[in-house]
Amino acid sequence: MAGISQAELARQLGVNKSTITYHVKRGLTHAQIRELIEARRKENPIAEPASPEIGKNAPEEGVAELRKRKLAAEITYKNLQAEQARVKLEKDKARLVDMEDVNELVVHLASITKGVLQAFENKLPGKMEGLTAAEMVPMLREEIKAALYSIAEESRAQIKIISRAEQ
């Protein structure tokens, strides 16, 4: 493989010489370039190289094949545009939000939850001093219920803020 020229490799793979040059400058060997291009073709069959007889014995077939490929590429492009429009519409309908906003919300709520739970160690010992286990249970339930309510309220408030920012 090392003795093959970039132009010959490009011809064998059905790509421009500049494509080969680009990958060589990135430090890839000819074997690696061949693997890369073949892998890309498997992922995107529209990019199949023209058959060897195109341009030699059957010029009309070559033009027809190119037209088919162009049409297939245009269809793929239109489908991608439609998918982008659908995603934008879903986002506009507030069904989707940016991941950055979701990450910020999760971090904020984790911080609030941590603070509420850490407050138990300052609040509960004084309230529970001298109580029996049976007397402690209802008090613990009430404190946990109040803590969860405060976390839920903070969650609602943050979600409203994100919802307004997305609109």
Same domain for 133 and 152, yes or no, is yes
Same domain for 28 and 5, yes or no, is yes
Same domain for 89 and 122, yes or no, is no
| Parent domain of 139 | 97-166
Same domain for 104 and 160, yes or no, is yes
Final residue of a structural domain among 64, 95, 126: 95
pLDDT digits (tens, 9 = 90+) for 60-99: 667 888 888 889 889 988 888 888 888 888 777 766 667 7
For residue 100, the Cα-to-chain-centroid distance in whole angstroms is 12
Q: What is the pTM of this model?
A: 0.40
pLDDT digits (tens, 9 = 90+) for 141-163: 999 999 999 999 988 888 888 77
Contact predicate 4/25, CB 8 Å: no
Distances (CA, A) of 119 to 110, 115, 123, 144: 14, 6, 6, 11
Q: How many domains does the chain have?
A: 3
Same domain for 18 and 63, yes or no, is no
Same domain for 102 and 123, yes or no, is yes
Same domain for 78 and 42, yes or no, is no
pLDDT digits (tens, 9 = 90+) for 9-56: 888 888 888 888 888 888 888 888 888 888 888 877 664 554 444 445
CA pair distance 120, 81, nearest whole angstrom: 53
